[in-house]
Amino acid sequence: MQATKPSETKVVLTGIKPTNHPHIGNYIGAIRPGIELVSQAEHSLLFIADYHALTTVQDPKELREYTLSVAATWIACGLDPERTVIYRQSDVPEIFELAWILSCVTPKGLLNRSHAYKAKVQENQTAEKEDLDFGISMGLFSYPVLMAADILLFNTDIVPVGEDQVQHVEVARDIAQKFNRVFGDVLKLPNHFLKAESVVPGLDGRKMSKSYGNHIPLFLESKKMRKMIMKIITDSTPPEAPKEPKGSVLYTLYKEFSSINQANELANLYREGVGWGEVKQMLFERIEEYFKGPALTYNDLISHPEKIDAILKDGGMRARDLAEPTMKKVRAAVRG
């Protein structure tokens, strides 16, 4: 499969599962590059994959909270809802109609080979469970079909994803090919675009992840953010001892939010000898400064959820309009 540059293409689409409040790792690894990519495309769509999240988030209050938080974060960080159609997956019923139709041409074996399902089966094997499908819902199993519908409904050219989602875009391609073989040439074959992965370390130096509990949420209130940054684990090197910036969590994070000059200044301080407390204070101030504008927008949106609902509702209607021509063709192709 060919990975094409978004700037050479027409329709760029990506989805985000609302399973947490976005953290700094999500920002650097997904949100910042995602906004850059969609801004280069002729048409772009970004949606909150709330029904995909249902495989794990089954508390409606939580689902709504994360949905609003993810949408507000992307908008606060620069996603322009006028330019990019931003919507909630569950507001576009055509996706689920298409998902069913696609599931009828999808070989079950294709889904048996899907990595999320295989990983769960493997877990059961390791735990010596008698039923290898223990704890696996149909939603988890058919997750890639729904994702194929998300993508194929909009004649998507490019899907920017992280490494772990490449297989799902390939499955979408396979399913589209199968559909076209059975019903005629209706669905466009998408390509993935692999984002350059920079792994952001968390408080304990491992990859920042909600599942490790070592993440720094994006829009923390100032005092809490400072406290959080003070928690970043450092070694016991005394302040005056020269230090190596490379590989230091504090330096790695600082660099993400500063100019080359600012990063070089900190690297020099490291080499001259600087106390970790001082570096942490610098990092805190850098992050505060960097997110000052976005935090204002985020807080305004989060305290007025009706504004986010209105943006998503409008996006949902635009998405349905965009989906209609494909859905008409699909219905005509399958129903005769």
Q: Does 29 bind ligand ADP (CB under 6 A)?
A: yes
Q: Does 199 bind ligand ADP (CB under 6 A)?
A: yes
Residues in the chain: 336
Phi (first) and psi of residue 263, to 5 degrees: -65, -40
120 catalytically annotated: yes
194 binds ligand ADP (CB under 6 A): no
Handedness of CA 306, 98, 159, 12 (dihedral sign): negative
Q: Which is nearer to ligand ADP, 19 or 89 (CB)?
A: 19
Which residues contact residue 111 at a Cβ distance below 8 angstroms, ignoring those fewer than 6 apart?
117, 141, 142, 144, 145, 171
One residue of 9, 14, 26, 248 binding ligand ADP per CB under 6 A:
26
Least distance CB 165 / ligand TRP (angstroms): 5
Query: Quick one: what does residue 209 bind among ligand ADP, ligand TRP, none, with the CB cut-off 5 to 8 Å set by partner type?
Result: ligand ADP
17, 120, 243, 280: the catalytic one is 120
Q: Are strands 43-48 and 84-88 parallel, antiparallel or unpaired?
A: parallel
The answer to whether the beta carbons of residues 172 and 137 sit under 8 Å apart is no
The residue ranges that bind ligand TRP (CB under 6 A) are 14-15, 17, 49, 52, 147, 150-151, 159, 161, 165, 168
Which one of ligand TRP, ligand ADP, none interacts with residue 157, CB within 5 to 8 A by kind? none
| Min separation Cβ 164 and ligand TRP, Å | 7
Phi-psi region of 279 (alpha: psi -120 to 50; beta: other; left: phi over 0): alpha
User: Of 134 and 212, which has the nearer Cβ to ligand ADP?
Assistant: 212
Nearest CA among 161, 163, 202 for reference residue 23: 202
Q: Is 224 a catalytic residue?
A: no
Contact by Cβ (8 Å): 5, 37: no
If one asks whether residue 15 binds ligand ADP (CB under 6 A), the answer comes out as no
Binding residues among 158-177 for ligand ADP as defined by CB under 6 A: 162
Q: Give the one entry of ligand TRP, ligand ADP, none that residue 10 binds, where binding means its C-beta sits below a cut-off of 5 to 8 angstroms depending on kind.
A: none
25 binds ligand ADP (CB under 6 A): yes
Closest CA to 17 of 115, 96, 95, 89: 89
The Cβ-side half-sphere exposure at 279, using a 13 Å CA radius, reads 32
Catalytic residue numbers read 120, 207, 210
Interface with ligand ADP (CB under 6 A): 19-20, 25-26, 28-30, 162, 198-200, 207-211, 215
